[in-house]
Amino acid sequence: MIEQALNTLKRIWTKHGLARSFVQLDYGSVALVLNLTNSENSRVVLRALEAILALLKGEECCDMLVKLGAVEILKPSMMSKYHEIKKTSLQIVNKLLASKSEGVRYTV
């Protein structure tokens, strides 16, 4: 059930830039998705990470995620034993760091 909701959220955030803009006004929903990255269910973690990555297609959301402490929250995901979880969380952190440090790119 949670996985399906996260998939829907990912699709909406990917296809509709305006939806990403509205999310900036509602930190609670993003914080909830961010906290789902610490779930014990690896599929929920991956879907939450994919939704966050879709949200980051619009650069405007990077600051919000940094303020929410995304890099710190994603540390367990970056050390996951599951390749896709590790890869997706590192992509998110890469985008967040790249938005804060112009000209510096980190490879995943």
Instruction: Tell me if 108 is assigned to some domain.
Output: no
Domain total in the chain: 1
Q: What is the pTM of this model?
A: 0.77
User: Domain span at residue 33?
Assistant: 2-100
DSSP secondary structure of 35-102: HGGG-S-HHHHHHHHHHHHHHTTSGGGHHHHHHTTHHHHTHHHHT-SSHHHHHHHHHHHHHHHHHHST
The CATH number linked to 76 is: 1.25.10.10
Instruction: Tell me if 40 is assigned to some domain.
Output: yes
**So what's the pLDDT on residue 60?**
67
- Residue among 34, 13, 8, 37 at smallest CA distance from 23: 13
Instruction: Tell me if 66 is assigned to some domain.
Output: yes
Instruction: Tell me if 105 is assigned to some domain.
Output: no
pLDDT tens, position by position, 43-73: 999 999 998 998 887 666 788 888 889 999 9
Instruction: Tell me if 38 is assigned to some domain.
Output: yes
